[in-house]
């Protein structure tokens, strides 16, 4: 019925009018929010797309694509994808499956000669879902040097030497190595570099005009510079050897326009059949039949009871995010040229401007009621390397965890700058928990302190806010 109705100009006009009205009432609020978020998180530039009911209703650039030359971001600005690029690798694998060139439950040793015995139970599906047990190749003398070039066969040999961190299918652990292997597998099956396969089977059919494998020597118009934070100040992205910028775990140049077309292709089932599109957003079943909220290159994390398919990207001075809320017919894409910048929080907050039911819980400061605990948490986060971890406030079993947290927080300080304030927060969830807002020079985190019945700390969880 709908297909017949949209043949009439008045009906089309009515749909467009409603979408325009929906967009205009939110546009200024989105601008205000993005500008505030950029200031608070010290983000040089953002490219944003909001898609509602299949129509891009907000496509805009903010800030600077290049700080030194004062070049502004526009929707045509090219960013690096980071791990958002894994979605295209996964789609290419599914296309090969549809063509009968592989099966998802094929053992990967079928395609990789000389595979170690540890790989005997690893399937293509395990690589897609991060359940293989293969860890990331370490960045040290036993693994890779990011400033050195490696061939696909070099990376394959390094991966084959890695011990599994768990029995295949037993757990879930994010593995870039798994997707690097998928790219090599695509090459093995097709005889073509995986990037050429993506271009032929996905990018050209969808008229994705700017998306391509990273190539720094080429002259590429509208290419953004990437930036990193050191003690809360901008620095140019770290240099990475060219070959390590061509792997299938997320090494693409793209714009929001490319991702708008990708979102439409998912909605309209243009590249994959309905069954495989559904498989991409189906939770992963582990060996014990429990489900993990990850499909094929999509995190499946509901927000306030609303279905949400999301993925982030983080690489070489760029941090990106795509969030699809299928029941709300809403997609938000955020590309930034700062790593880290927490674009996922930005995407979710923008989604909530359009769909208020998606609003994430806000934090509220409270009157101090436990000075001793607050002083300890303040010292732990302001002075992580010198804080007393044998304090009676910590249970003995928790000391190793807190030591790891201290090391992690020292790294955060090196990135975001010193902690300025630690504020106790209202907490209505559990009397065995205390919450704090930790404010660095740039960025903030919510810290949850978990206590046993004796009031001792058993764990501390720190999350971006």
The DSSP annotation for 223-245 comes to BPPPEEEETTEEEEPPP--GGGG
Residues 337/44, Cβ–Cβ less than 8 Å: yes
Cα(365)–Cα(424) distance, integer angstroms: 6
pLDDT of 332: 98
**Confidence band (pLDDT; 50, 70, 90) for 151?**
very high
Residues above pLDDT 70, as percent of the chain: 95
Q: Say which residues have a Cβ less than 8 Å from residue 284's Cβ, sequence separation at least 6.
A: 129, 130, 131, 172, 291, 292, 294, 295
- Using a 10 angstrom Cβ sphere, with 0-12 exposed, 13-18 middle and 19 or more buried, the burial of residue 36 is exposed
Cα(437)–Cα(458) distance, integer angstroms: 19
**Confidence band (pLDDT; 50, 70, 90) for 388?**
confident
Residues 38/46, Cβ–Cβ less than 8 Å: yes
Both tokens of residue 310?
A: 């999301």
pLDDT of 17: 60
Q: Within a 10 A sphere around the Cβ of 187, how many other Cβ atoms? A: 18
Secondary structure element (H or E) that encloses residue 29, with its range: helix 9-41
Q: Which of 427, 428, 446, 444 is nearest to 436 (CA)?
A: 446
| pLDDT of 7 higher than 70 | no
Q: Say which residues have a Cβ less than 8 Å from residue 358's Cβ, sequence separation at least 6.
A: 303, 304, 306, 325, 328, 348, 351, 352
| pLDDT of 390 higher than 90 | no
Cα distances (Å, whole numbers) of residue 315 to 226, 240, 429: 9, 10, 35
Angle between the N-to-C axes of helices 399-416 and 371-382, in degrees from 0 to 180, rounded to the nearest 10: 60
């Amino acid at each position: 019925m709908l297909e017949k109705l949209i043949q009439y100009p008045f009906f089309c006009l009515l749909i467009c009018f409603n979408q325009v009205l929906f967009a205009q009432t939110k546009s200024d609020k989105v601008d205000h929010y993005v500008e505030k978020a950029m200031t608070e998180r010290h983000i040089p530039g953002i490219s944003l797309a909001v898609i509602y009911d299949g129509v891009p209703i907000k496509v805009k650039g903010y800030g600077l694509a290049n700080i030194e030359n004062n070049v502004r971001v526009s929707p045509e600005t090219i960013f690096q994808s980071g791990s958002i690029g894994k979605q295209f690798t996964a789609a290419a694998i599914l296309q090969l499956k549809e063509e009968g060139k592989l099966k998802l439950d094929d053992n990967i040793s079928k395609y990789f000669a000389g595979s170690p015995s540890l790989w005997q139970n690893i399937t293509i599906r395990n690589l897609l879902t991060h359940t293989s047990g293969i860890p990331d190749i370490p960045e040290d003398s036993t693994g890779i040097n990011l400033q050195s070039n490696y061939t696909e066969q070099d990376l394959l040999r390094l991966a084959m030497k890695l011990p599994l961190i768990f029995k295949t299918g037993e757990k879930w652990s994010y593995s870039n190595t798994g997707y690097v292997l998928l790219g090599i597998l695509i090459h093995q099956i097709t005889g073509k570099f995986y990037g050429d396969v993506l271009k032929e089977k996905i990018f050209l059919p969808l008229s994705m005009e700017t998306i391509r494998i990273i190539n720094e020597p080429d002259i590429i118009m509208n290419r953004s510079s990437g930036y990193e934070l050191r003690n809360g100040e901008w620095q140019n992205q770290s240099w990475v050897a060219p070959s390590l910028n061509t792997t299938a775990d997320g090494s693409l140049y793209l714009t929001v326009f490319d991702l708008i077309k990708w979102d439409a292709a998912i909605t309209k089932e243009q590249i994959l059949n309905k069954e495989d599109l559904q498989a991409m957003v189906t939770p992963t079943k582990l060996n014990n039949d429990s489900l993990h909220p990850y499909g094929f290159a999509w995190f499946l994390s509901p927000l306030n009871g609303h279905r949400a398919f999301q993925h982030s990207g983080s690489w070489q001075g760029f941090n990106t995010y795509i969030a699809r809320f299928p029941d709300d017919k809403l997609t938000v894409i955020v590309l930034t040229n700062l790593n880290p910048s927490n674009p996922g929080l930005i995407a979710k907050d923008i989604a909530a401007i359009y769909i208020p039911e998606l609003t994430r819980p806000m934090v509220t400061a409270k009157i101090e009621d436990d000075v001793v605990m607050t002083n300890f948490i303040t010292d732990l986060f302001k002075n992580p390397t010198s804080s007393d971890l044998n304090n009676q406030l910590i249970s003995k079993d928790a000391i190793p965890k807190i030591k790891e947290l201290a090391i992690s927080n020292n790294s955060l300080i090196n990135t975001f700058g010193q902690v300025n304030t630690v504020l106790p927060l209202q907490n209505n969830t559990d009397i065995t928990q205390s919450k704090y807002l930790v404010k660095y020079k740039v960025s903030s985190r919510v810290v949850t302190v978990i206590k046993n019945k004796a009031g001792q700390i058993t764990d501390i969880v720190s999350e971006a806010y």
